[in-house]
Structure formats: C-alpha cells, structure tokens
Structure 1
Amino acid sequence: MDTNFIISLDSIADVNAFANTIAHFKSEIDLSSGRYIVNAKSIMGIFSLDLTRPLTLTVHGKDELEEISSAIAPYLKK
C-alpha cells in the first residue's frame, strides 16, 4: 500500500538535507512533479524536478511509515 505526502523543497540546502534524511530508510520512496517520477534518495533526480511547485512524496509499503512521516515533517506543505 502506498502513502502520499505533499512536500516543498525551497532551497539547495533543503534538497541536500532531505536526500540525506531519506537515504537512511530501506523503503522505496519516490518523488513526483507532474508526470515525472524519480527516486527520492537521488539528489540528481530531485534536481531534475520542478522545485518551484509542490512535490508528491510516495512511500511504498508501511514498514517505516511512522519514522518517515516524522523525518519529513519539516518539508510537509502547509
């Protein structure tokens, strides 16, 4: 089962911190903007997205969902 979150990465520092945070999880996690989907653990992939718009973070599976939700809290779109 997949869970989606809407996040915002407003600066290069945000992208670096976000990618480093997400890299620690074993779950498959994707980021999408429009029709483009990239691995959320890939800094290069993240920079290929349109960062001026909100991004959709998709967590595949439920194993680490609680930990991931806490880790991405600073990036959640309000």
Structure 2
Amino acid sequence: MTEKKIQFENTADVEKFVKMAGQCDFEIDILYQHVYVDAKSLLGMLGLGLAKELTVQYFGENADFEKMLKHYAAA
C-alpha cells in the first residue's frame, strides 16, 4: 500500500482525479479524518468537500496516476 497527501482546488480537479482513478485496475481509497471514500466514486469524492488535505491510499502501480498525484500534492 502506498499513501500520498493531496488537495483539490475545485470540482474540475475532483472530476479529473476520479476519471483517472477509474482507469486503474487496483483499489484506491481517500481518507479524511476517520472517513474512507472510494476514489472512483464522484459523489463520494465531492461529498468530502474542497480545500482539505486528503490521504490517498492505493494498492497498485500506474505511471499516469502517480504523475497526477504529484500535480495534486498537498503543500
């Protein structure tokens, strides 16, 4: 399992993230405080809100997904 911290600025960022996550053939979860959300669920992701630092937990490898995570990396 790999963990990274990310943060979204707008709903378009969330939509792009969910679309890319949906192309991965492994499990991807988002953790905020004690809440876990499937990263492939647009409704679940939008329910978390914006401008929060989120933790991504994933269980596979995909170069395009990794590149996208760097773009959304929390400062």
Scaled by the length of structure 1, the TM-score of the pair is: 0.84
How many positions carry a matched residue from both structures? 75
Change (3 A) 1:51 1:15: same
Calculate the TM-score normalised by the size of structure 2.
0.87
Residues of 1 paired with 2:58 and 2:43: CA distance? 19
- The answer for unaligned runs of 5 or more in structure 1 is none
Contact 1:22-1:41 within 8 A present in 2 as well: yes
**Alpha-carbon distance, 1:50 to partner:** 3.8
Please list every run of at least 4 consecutive aligned residues from structure 1 whose deviation after the TM superposition is greater than 3 angstroms: none
Please tell me whether the aligned partners of residues 59 and 65 of structure 1 are also in contact (alpha carbons under 8 angstroms): no
More helix by share: 2
Mapped pair 1:7 → 2:6: yes
Which residues of structure 2 form unaligned runs of 5+?
Answer: none
Aligned mates of 2:14, 2:55 — CA distance in 1: 14
Counterparts of 2:62 and 2:16 in 1: how far apart (Å)?
Answer: 19
| Aligned ranges 1:19-30 → 2 under 5 Å | 19-30=18-29
Percent identity, please.
27
